[in-house]
Copies of this chain bind each other. A is one copy, B any other.
Amino acid sequence: MDSDPAGRDGDQALADAMERAHDPARVLALSDGVFAIIITLLVLDVRVPELGQGQALADALREIRPSLTAFVISFILAGMYWVSHRDLFGQIRRTDRGLVWLNILYLLPLCLLPFAASLLGRHDRDPVALRIYGLTLVAIAVMRVAIWLYATNRTQLLWVRLDERQRRVGLALTLVPGIVYLVAIAVADVAPTVSLAIFAGLPVLYFLSITVLRRGSTGRREFVNFT
């Protein structure tokens, strides 16, 4: 530090360098790029069928129904995850090495979502498909919990400090679906239909709970950030 041409200007330069190094802009650019690709990826699986001899187009199209279902499922799910990601990073002012890597490791199971949804679309009562699908969702939930705990525990990374209650509400919003997914995985072998119903029903539950939370928070500050 002594050999530095520093003084007050040097300190300012250092502060600026710190701000640049912690700017979340590129973290968001990478994440949005990955989300955009995931959202459109499965359409590649929805292929125009080749017509066999004497086969009508309408019949041939029946074959693409599973891949179309898988596309819609992962589209909605990826949309939900993107909205949550946007909510979360809307609270984050600076990133650090830990947060950058947690975000990359969050994108990893997310990228597997189209594969898992495609598997479920074609084998919707097979316990193996149900378990792989569930594990993907659990992995995403685990990473979201990790990011939430990491970021909210470091005041310097946030725009506004959250109090204990806000942290717990945010944690519950991610943890509860994760635990429900674990239940769905556990019953996949004995009751695949129950398992499937849980996977199909949880997004609905998510919308309802967010809506209820927002209704109940009129005049309360802690929920204004959950858009």
Q: Which residues of A contact B (CB under 8 A)?
A: 1, 3-4, 13-14, 16-18, 20-23, 26, 28-30, 32-41, 43-44, 46-48, 56-58, 61, 71-72, 75, 79, 82-83, 86-87, 90-91, 95-97, 100-101, 104-105, 107-108, 111-112, 114-115, 118-119, 122-123, 126, 128-129, 132, 159-160, 163, 214, 219-221, 224-225, 227
Contacts and interface: CB of A to CB of B under 8 A. Distances in A.
Contacts of A23: 90
Contacts of A39: 30, 34, 107, 111
B21 A227 contact: yes
A108 B36 contact: no
Contact of A44 (B32, B35, B44, B123): B44
A215 to B, nearest CB: 12
A225 B21 contact: yes
Contacts of A3: 163
B112 A83 contact: no
Contacts of A30: 32, 35-36, 39, 82
A58 B129 CA distance: 9
B227 A57 contact: no
Given A4-B221, A38-B40, 15 more contacts: A17-B225, A18-B224, A21-B224, A26-B86, A29-B32, A30-B82, A36-B36, A36-B37, A43-B115, A44-B44, A56-B128, A71-B111, A79-B101, A79-B105, A96-B227
A43 B43 contact: no
Nearest to A112: B43
Nearest to A59: B128
A17 to B, nearest CB: 6
Counting from the closest, the 5 A-B pairs by CB-CB distance are A33-B36, A79-B104, A29-B32, A97-B227, A57-B128
B100 A13 contact: no
